[in-house]
Amino acid sequence: NAGVTQTPKFRILKIGQSMTLQCAQDMNHNYMYWYRQDPGMGLKLIYYSVGAGITDKGEVPNGYNVSRSTTEDFPLRLELAAPSQTSVYFCASSSPGTGTEKLFFGSGTQLSVL
Amino acid sequence: AQKITQTQPGMFVQEKEAVTLDCTYDTSDPSYGLFWYKQPSSGEMIFLIYQGSYDQQNATEGRYSLNFQKARKSANLVISASQLGDSAMYFCAMREGNTNAGKSTFGDGTTLTVKP
């Protein structure tokens, strides 16, 4: 059981470049999330989705876009990369009504913008 | 105001001893959930334990227990019989409400170092 799969694991971007971080889950979870973790800090929510076709902003959405065309996939798009977007990005999923709704995390993408 | 506060940036514990990691939270929602996650140096996030706001008893999972004091809005993690593999960063998180898309807010974490 793969769980939540994120690609790539590492990426270096130049200022102004764009890229898409991929995220897929095979647990049929309705809820999916993108978080970023800056060095020595906790996770901050960028965007989330409660189902295919439905997305909404989290705490730090500026500079990012998402889409959710299927239950399984939730890609995160960075347009015009800036040094402030240097961070580790985590995709996560959860299932409502399970009691805990704990987050299942991908292994993370370490992104550097130079 | 911070919704989740972890006041201990770093903690040290001797192997085989118990350690408590502090977490206080702030919410006006009567329904919420509290989580602890572990992040080893390899970077992955590992779920440890969950406490619901209506749960009468403190949650336990093996060597992990959650000391839930609702009136004080604290949810401290207790690790018993520490092992070298417990060295990691630990995050407290909160999910508010029942219809909030499961969104969790995280504290800034506590780095635990277990000494042999």
How does pLDDT run across A18-52, given as a tens digit for each residue? 999 999 999 999 999 999 999 888 999 999 999 99
pLDDT on residue A97: 73
B-chain residues near A88 (CB < 8 A): 43
Res A93 pLDDT > 70: yes
Res B11 pLDDT > 90: yes
Output B38 or B99, whichever has higher pLDDT.
Answer: B38
Mean pLDDT throughout A53-70? 96
DSSP-assigned letter for residue A103? P
Q: Could you tell me if A49 and A57 are in contact, meaning their C-beta atoms sit under 8 angstroms apart? A: no
Nearest Cα to A75, choosing from A6, A1, A29?
A: A6
Res B1 pLDDT > 70: no
The answer to whether the CB atoms of B45 and A90 lie below 8 A apart is yes
* Coil vs helix vs strand at B15: coil
Which tokens sit at A73? 């996939």
The DSSP bridge pattern shows strands B64-69 and B74-79 to be antiparallel
CA–CA distance, B32 with B11 (Å, rounded to integer): 27
Percent of chain B with pLDDT over 90: 90
The answer to whether the CB atoms of B45 and A103 lie below 8 A apart is yes
Q: For B99-109, write each residue's pLDDT tens digit.
A: 667 789 999 99
Residues in chain A: 114
Residue A61 touches chain B, beta carbons under 8 Å: no
